[in-house]
Structure 1
Amino acid sequence: MTSVVSQEHFEHSKVVLTLTLDNSQPIELGAFVSAFTSLASDYRKGLENKGLDAEAKLYITEVRSGSIVADLMPVVATAFPVVAASVEQLGQAVDFVNTWADRLTKLKDGLVPEGLSKSELKTFTDAVQAVASDPNANQLLEAATFEDGKRQVKAAFKFTTSDARAIEKTIEGEFKRLEQQTEQVHERVLMYFTRSDIGNAPIEKRSGERAVINTISERDLPIMYASELAEEKIKHEIREPDENIYKKCFSVDVSVQFRGDKAIVYKVLSVHQVIDLPDE
């Protein structure tokens, strides 16, 4: 459901985020739109991380001539949308600009801020696109207040074409790293099943089964077998009519396959022991 913010809310607001795009060449429409949508997306995500209403939006209240300058009003939507109190609203705007500056500065310097997802990295790619595609451009984000008709900047961050291109290079490298698959061998770890299958699977192919190894990840992952011997030791326990595979765990050597930092599959190399779990 789309929230509606009254004109009165805008008239009484004393806090704005001002985005200035200063390009030497015409801006492609998609890049122009992305500069604003990426800002709104990251602002909304920042509020979510603070436990505030995730429906916060940025409203464009004015676009001035010359460089593209847009005043955006951060509004926290509730059941009845209201503009947050000035002090709280200013704090949110300043925090947002400072966080935005910190992340983009790290990306410019070749560092990936900890905890950023692929979608969040894509947000920053979109944010710098308009500047990166221009040979001599810059973008300025400011958090400002209006008191007695005077504009006071409380936080600001500016980046240039060379900065934007460095940011794009860092993000592109991180995307490639996240797609790379690597393997790590773990010996004698305890594995238990969350999904089993009595049928055989081709060696080195996913079996359709899933298992958990708590010392590696709390998530259950697909499994495959490195050899027929490893598979048969486990399938024997699955096929025995008097046995319950979900009341057993297995001491195994596994090769954990990763995509980036994320474990994606367990390859069972050998089975050392079958352990009956105690009844709950």
Structure 2
Amino acid sequence: MRTIVRDDDNSYLRAYNSYMNGGHPYIVLKLQTKNPIQIGDFVSEFISITSQYDKFIKESYPALAQEAQIFVKSVRHGSVIAVLLPFVPFMLSGEILAHIEHINAINEFVRNFGEKIEAYVSGRKVDNATRSDLKDFMGAVAAIANDPKGKASIASAVFEGGKIKTRVAVTFDSTEARRAVTQIEEHQRQLEQRNNADYSRVLGIFKQANTRDSPIGRRTSERLKIEQLSDRDLPLVYASDLAEQRIKHEIREADDNLFKKGFIVDINVETIGGRPVAYRVTNLHQVIDLPSEIDGT
């Protein structure tokens, strides 16, 4: 992301004027606040929206993925207006803009982003949101949430016939932003939450093994698959010296293919946000030969 806040760079000023006068689509961010905006919240607004825009374009319109540029249009008492010009790099490189496709991309991004913010305002959450996404969502609402009577709008627009034409707009006020903050924080806690669940005598199949001794309580390079718990193989953690010694003995002394054997173990499943991320083995009960249809090959 590059943020432009000056008028003395003629090349960027010309690019800005040419872009706007050409009727190309852009994103307008408008912040209205009663109190001064903290500099961290101010910067987060731009970074968050640009981050989400870049992610959206790379996933949905990869051919249009270019470095977006932000121009701060005006800063007045109680009001900040900035415009994000996604396709200036195309102009500077002399490429021809695919006008309709670009308009559709910008409209779709604003609509998509607005739906995600609305989810948190309404007390819901975005199911596939990552920690990075949640950081962006928080950055987009923080400035308004911290103001007693603020309002923000994010819109897709074009400048045509001497007038600004808004296509899609998202707005939220301080009350809505604070509700979003509460819900985003709760979602962040859910993703960070680590839970443990115990299972006795489950069948594990090694997908990756190591003959070297492993530190107790630390994740190893070994991976175990337990089909009744997850369709993925997960990293192995030895939760006791005895379990580690017995399993390593089986690995080192195996006369045939280790991956054709099943290990009946007691385990503790570590999860983050409800998803299994590691198996902590506490005891080995038995090693069995697997039928060919379910072995690890």
Normalised by the length of structure 2, the TM-score is 0.79
Q: How does 1:22-61 map to 2 (within 5 A)?
A: 22-53=32-63, 55-61=65-71
Determine the C-alpha separation between the residues in 2 that align with 1:192 and 1:57: 44
Q: Which of 130, 151, 154 is the matching residue for 1:138?
A: 151
Q: Could you give the per-residue CA deviations for residues 91-145 of structure 1, whole angstroms, max 9, x where no partner exists?
A: 1111111111110111112211021100110011111111111111010111112
Query: Does structure 1 retain, via aligned residues, the 8 Å contact 2:66–2:89?
Result: yes
Q: Is the 8 A contact 1:138 1:159 kept in 2?
A: yes
Say yes or no: does 1:68 pair with 2:80. Answer: yes
Partner-residue secondary structure (3-state), 1:208: strand
Q: Structure 2 counterpart of 1:41, which letter?
A: S
Aligned length: 275
| Structure 1 residue 225: Cα displacement | 4.0
CA distance in 2, matches of 1:84, 1:93: 13
Percent identical pairs in the alignment equals 25
Give yes or no for the alignment of 1:210 onto 2:217.
Answer: no
1:57 partner SS: coil
Note the alpha carbon deviations across 1:186-224, whole angstroms, 9 max, x for none: 55333214132443754xx23735213163143431322
What RMSD over aligned residues (CA atoms) do the two structures have, in Å?
3.1
| Pair 1:164-2:174 in alignment | no
One-letter amino acid matched to 2:225: I
The AA in structure 2 aligned to 1:59 is Q
Summarize the Cα distance change of 1:83–1:64 in structure 2 as closer, same or farther, 3 Å threshold.
farther
Q: 1:29 and 1:91 mapped to 2: Cα distance?
A: 33
2:209 is matched with which residue: 186, 191, 195?
Answer: 195
Q: Which amino acid in the other structure matches residue 191 of structure 2?
A: L
Q: Tell me which amino acid in the other structure corresponds to 2:206.
A: Y
CA separation in 2, counterparts of 1:207 and 1:168? 34
| 2:257 is the alignment partner of 1:257 | no
Deviation at 1:16, TM superposition (A): 1.9
Equivalent position amino acid for 1:208 in 2: T
Larger mean CA deviation between 159-168 and 256-265 belongs to 256-265
Q: In 1, distance between residues paired with 2:99 and 2:263?
A: 59
Q: Which runs of 5+ in 2 are unaligned?
A: 3-10
Partner of 2:8: none
Letter in 2 for 1:57: E
CA change 1:239–1:207 in 2 (3 A) is farther
Residue 266 of structure 1 corresponds to which residue in structure 2? 279
CA change 1:160–1:82 in 2 (3 A) is farther
Q: Could you tell me how far apart the structure 1 residues matched to 2:279 and 2:72 are?
A: 55
Question: Residues 152 and 199 from structure 1, CA distance in 2 versus in 1: closer, same or farther, beyond 3 angstroms?
Answer: closer
Return the offset for 1:168: 1.2
- Structure 1: gaps (5+ residues): none
- The normalised TM-score by structure 1 is 0.84
Pairwise CA distance, 1:163:
1.2
